[in-house]
Amino acid sequence: MDIIRDLVVMVIGFLMYLFFIRAIVSWLFVFGIRNEILSRVNLMLSGMTEPILAPIRRYVPSAGGLDLSFLVAVFGLWFIRRVLLSL
């Protein structure tokens, strides 16, 4: 059982990194930094994180253009990871 728990904890950690990288890439777009590689990275990250963020967006409204679903997702993943690590 420890192997499964450790694997899930590692996947959650990987997802959290993906969310933070996606946030940084989106900020680069806001500041006007655009190129083909960055666009492809953004598309790849969107494909990997959007299945988690889309359901959250249905229930969490944006606040003045700020997407709060990111914070809810990261906090939720962090909470699940902490619970799993305490078992």
Predicted pLDDT at 17 = 95
Q: Does the pLDDT of residue 2 top 90, yes or no?
A: no
Q: What is the mean pLDDT of the chain?
A: 91
Q: Does the pLDDT of residue 21 top 90, yes or no?
A: yes
Domain boundaries, the chain: 2-86
The arithmetic mean of pLDDT across residues 60-69, rounded, is 84
Q: Does the pLDDT of residue 84 top 80, yes or no?
A: yes
Q: Which residues, 6 or more positions from 8, have their beta carbon under 8 angstroms from its beta carbon?
A: 84
- Name the DSSP letter for residue 60: S
pTM of the model: 0.85
The arithmetic mean of pLDDT across residues 11-30, rounded, is 93
The arithmetic mean of pLDDT across residues 58-73, rounded, is 87
How many CB atoms are closer than 10 A to CB 57? 16
Give Cα 38 distance to the centre of its chain: 17
